Amino acid sequence: MSRISAVASNTFREAVRDRVLYNLIFFALLLVGAALLFGQISIGIQRIVLVNLGLSAISVFGVVIAIFIGIGLVSKEMEKKTLYTILSRPVQRWEFIVGKFGGLAWTLVVNTLCMAIGFFAALYLLARHFERADGYLVVAIYFIILEFVVVTAVALLFSTFSSPVLSAVMALALFVIGTFAEDLRAFAAMSHGAMRVFATLAAYVVPNFASLNVISSVAHGQPVAASLVVYNTVYSLFYAAAALCGAILVFEYRNLK
Amino acid sequence: MLAIETFALEKSYSVGFWRKRRVAGLKPLNLSVEAGEVFGYLGPNGAGKTTTLKLLMGLIFPSGGSARILEMAIADPRMKSQIGFLPEQPFFYDYLTAAELLDYYARLSGVPARERTKRVQTALARVGISQSARTQLRKLSKGMLQRVGIAQAVLHDPKVVFLDEPMSGLDPLGRREVRDLIQSLKEEGKTVFFSTHILSDAEALCDRVAILHKGELRGVGAVNELTARTESKVEILFQGVQGVTLLSALGAECHATGEMVRAIIPENRQDEALEALRRLGLRLISLTPVRATLEDYFIERLKKDEKAEKVEVGR
């Protein structure tokens, strides 16, 4: 356990000392600020615009961080040979993978919390008070964190067997397809024959990010069902665990260059 | 007690578009290293030295055979807490300071929290970079990074230390310090297994050496044992360049500086050479036996192997 936490805390430290990360957080906060501006010129729907833009900014920038750091988590260590001095110690390969995942997931949680503080500050500046429906925004942010957990695990999986560029393309493609997972399921239901089988299979294999996106409904003050919270939590954790197991399986048998 | 044992350990790679052709990186290797020995693993670039070390560290998997370190399988995590490893041209997390990096490695090696700071300071002092403890690694020179690499290899007080080309990138002073460090590890009773292609380093430090060429073990033994197998030579110093042609015909390597000629000749042709010089009326300055070095053995061995390969191909 101490070895996993050592790898995780080093991954966190690496991300924190990476200037690119600060640029991304800066732009995300800038976008939240811009949402405030857009809100002020959108008479009557200021709150809706602010929530939509603000939460979308948190989500998009978090996914970009998850993918662009996640894809290098293992491949960069192999390429730069920093793994040599780690795996020659009593560190199991699976411990390294779990530690790396934990470190990046924790980085994303901390980033999201920072951006969420900025978002709620902007919301308070606009409305000068918080209301009961704002509680659902916390649930939406929780879903965004779940989304990051899944994206991180998928990017890490790709990172174990592919180059960073190809991993980025695959992770990004999977994220886009997963965002339209509901449409893919609807398409599968309408299809026939081999296409139906293929589309159904694809719809269940790609992560269902559509179900994790409740930004639009919470922007309109609609509540989030408790069952959805439970379903999304279980689904995301299982999906991330499966991707992580895949990453471990690939990495366990990999010869380092 | 044996510190390292390999049993027909081998590694081959699939190459080509369809990955059907196999190329041997390391041919079946049977080797044993006694505890407390300084063992040199020698060979030209591409001989398979790094492949062997990567196999022993569990970084790549063998195509056949097995190995044991401290009588434990190479995949055993208990064994890994008792070894230290310096890779060739090591690269470390350059956003960390030297002290942070060593602290991280100490955590991974299972050094108790209360001992970590002291161990880190001791390791940094041992390689002479205490003053750079708080400097980010990206600001350190190549030589300093090599010292950090050595510090991380000995940080957790391992019983066996593996060093892959430890003198690489170091200036003469740095090389001298590494030699002293290896010597001090030996005095502490540790086993040191190091690969190098700088033969003078191996000759100065090693109890035994193994010579590897094209993935195959070509010789193993104590340095003086191996050098005793090489052909004895003598150095003849004389005046008169007209003697060069005659001595060259006897198989001498001649180097002329002005009128002075230095000829290295096999000991068994010594009498013929002296007779030739006498016939020409040249002045003999000195006659000195030449001690065979590891380099002589190494080059002779490689030449023999290449000759044998050519004969094999000719058939």
- Test A90 with B60 for CB contact under 8 angstroms: no
* B195-220 tens-digit pLDDT: 987 777 888 888 899 988 888 898 88
Taking CB atoms and an 8 Å limit, are B61 and A17 in contact across chains? no
Helix axes A93-127, A135-161, angle to 10 degrees: 150
CB A224 within 8 A of CB A218: yes
Residue A234 pLDDT: 97
Say what the pLDDT of residue B5 is.
Answer: 94
Question: B32 — phi, psi (to 5°)?
Answer: -140, 140
CB contact under 8 A, B77 and A6: no
**8 Å CB contact of B96 and A90:** no
Overall average pLDDT of the B83-88 stretch: 93
How many angstroms away from the CA of A100 is the closest CA of chain B?
14
**Which of A118, A116, A120 minimizes the C-alpha distance to A142?**
A116
Over residues B268-272, mean pLDDT:
88
- Under 8 Å between Cβ of A98 and A88: no
Instruction: Give the distance from residue A33's alpha carbon to the nearest chain B alpha carbon, in angstroms.
Output: 31
pLDDT at B69: 94
pLDDT score of B226 more than 80: no
Measured in angstroms, the CA of B223 and the nearest CA of chain A are apart by 29
Find, among B215, B140, B202, B135, the residue nearest to B175 by Cα: B202
- pTM: predicted TM-score of the whole model, two decimal places: 0.84
With tokens 């960069």, the residue in question is: A76
| Contacts A87 to B, Cβ<8 Å | 57-59
Give the integer Cα–Cα distance in Å for B155 and B107.
11
Using a CB-CB distance cutoff of 8 angstroms, which residues of chain B are in contact with residue A3? 107-108, 110
Other CB atoms within 10 Å distance of the CB of residue A95? 21
Cβ–Cβ gap B80/A13 under 8 Å? no
Cα of first residue to Cα of last residue in chain B, in angstroms, is 45
Residue among A85, A250, A253 with most chain B CBs within 10 A, to mutate = A85
Residues of B in contact with A253 (CB under 8 A): 61
Contact B80 A90 (CB under 8 A): yes
The answer on pLDDT for A7 being more than 70 is yes
The mean pLDDT value for B165-176 works out to: 83
Bridge partners, B221 (sequence order)? B209
Find the CB nearest A256 among B59, B81, B89: B59
pLDDT at B97 over 80: yes
Best B80, B108, B139 residue to mutate vs chain A (most A CBs within 10 Å): B108
Chain B nearest CA to A10, separation (Å): 8
CB contact under 8 A, B95 and A253: no
- Which of B162, B166, B165 has the alpha carbon at shortest distance from B177? B166
Cα separation of B295 and B310, whole Å?
A: 22
Out of A6, A13, A256, the one facing B107 most closely (by C-beta) is A6
What was the pLDDT predicted at A121?
85
A132-182 per-position pLDDT tens digit: 878 899 999 999 999 999 999 999 999 999 888 999 999 999 999 998 888
d(CA A40, CA B142): 56
Chain A residues touching residue B80 (CB < 8 angstroms): 88-91
Task: Note the pLDDT tens digit of each residue in B281-315.
Answer: 889 998 888 776 777 777 777 777 777 777 766 66
* Cβ-defined contact of A81 to B87 (cutoff 8 Å): yes
pLDDT digits (tens, 9 = 90+) for A120-144: 888 888 777 888 878 899 999 999 9
* B157 and A CB contact within 8 Å: no
pLDDT of residue A220: 87
The answer to whether B80 contacts A256, with C-beta atoms less than 8 Å apart, is no
Provide CB contacts within 8 A for A68, sequence distance 6+. Answer: A20, A168
Under an 8 Å CB criterion, which residues of A touch B?
Answer: 2-3, 6-7, 10, 13-14, 17-18, 80-92, 253, 255-256
What confidence score (pLDDT) does residue B202 get?
81
Which residues in chain A are closer than 8 Å to B108, comparing Cβ atoms?
3, 6-7, 86, 89-91
User: What value of ipTM does the predicted structure carry?
Assistant: 0.85
Main-chain phi, psi angles of B307, to 5 degrees: -65, -45
User: Residue A236: enclosing H or E segment and its boundaries?
Assistant: helix A226-252
Burial class (CB in 10 A: 0-12, 13-18, 19+), B283: exposed
Query: Is some CB atom of chain A closer than 8 A to the CB atom of B125?
Result: no
Q: Of A94-103, B48-57, B98-107, B234-243, which gets the smallest average pLDDT?
A: B234-243
List chain B residues with CB under 8 Å of A88: 57-59, 80, 83, 85, 162
Number of domains into which chain A is organized: 1
β B160-164/B83-86 pair status: parallel
Structural domain span for residue A10: 2-253
Residue in chain A nearest B74 by alpha carbon? A88
The DSSP bridge partners found for residue B287 are B236
Separation in Å, CA B310 to CA B26, B44, B219, B251: 21, 19, 20, 22
Task: Give the C-alpha distances (Å, rounded to integers) separating B196 from B68, B143, B212.
Answer: 22, 17, 11
- pLDDT at res. A20: 66
What average pLDDT does chain B have?
87
Percent share of chain A, pLDDT over 70: 96
Return d(Cα B127, Cα B123) in angstroms, integer. 7
- Give the pLDDT confidence score for residue B68 in this predicted structure: 95
Taking all residues of chain A, what is their mean pLDDT, rounded to a whole number? 88
Judged by a CB distance cut-off of 8 A, whether residue B112 touches chain A is no
A-chain CB neighbours of B104 within 8 Å are 6, 10
Residue A88, pLDDT score: 93
| B162 neighbourhood in chain A, CB within 8 Å | 88
Does position B101 have pLDDT exceeding 80, yes or no? yes
Residue of A nearest to B58 (CA): A88
